Amino acid sequence: MKMGYGAIAFLIGGALALVIGLGAAFNMYEITGTAATVVTWVLLVAGILVGLWNIDNAESVPFVVGVVGMTLLVGITTGVARVNEIVSAIGTPLITFLMPASIIVAAKMVFEKAKN
């Protein structure tokens, strides 16, 4: 099975976000300074590439709803001490990766509806 660029960007961004999140959630390491900036940019660019290349019209609504749901989950758990630390540590890099993709997919949906 041949993978396209969007699928590769999704795998790289998703794996990087999970590794960073799990490491931070269980205090294995902390990424700061220039490394944090580079990782953030890699996640953002991977998210943009996923939004442009990987999500088609049939997947648009479920993808955007899923990202919004995950964002709400991370935001709602702020009142629960230990759960919030784990969910926030894992969720923040995932949201950093998926939010640009979601914005691009939502914009593509709006433009598609405006065309019709």
The full set of domain ranges for the chain reads 5-115
Q: What is the pLDDT of residues 86-96, one digit of tens each?
A: 788 888 889 89
Q: How far apart are CA 116 and CA 28, in angstroms?
A: 51
The pLDDT value recorded for residue 81 is: 64
The pLDDT value recorded for residue 1 is: 59
C-alpha distances (whole Å) from 82 to each of 21, 60, 66 are 14, 33, 24
The pLDDT value recorded for residue 79 is: 66
The pLDDT value recorded for residue 82 is: 66
The pLDDT value recorded for residue 15 is: 92
The pLDDT value recorded for residue 103 is: 92
Q: What is the pTM of this model?
A: 0.80
Kindly give the parts of the chain with pLDDT less than 50: none
Q: Is 80 helix (H, G, I), strand (E, B) or coil?
A: coil
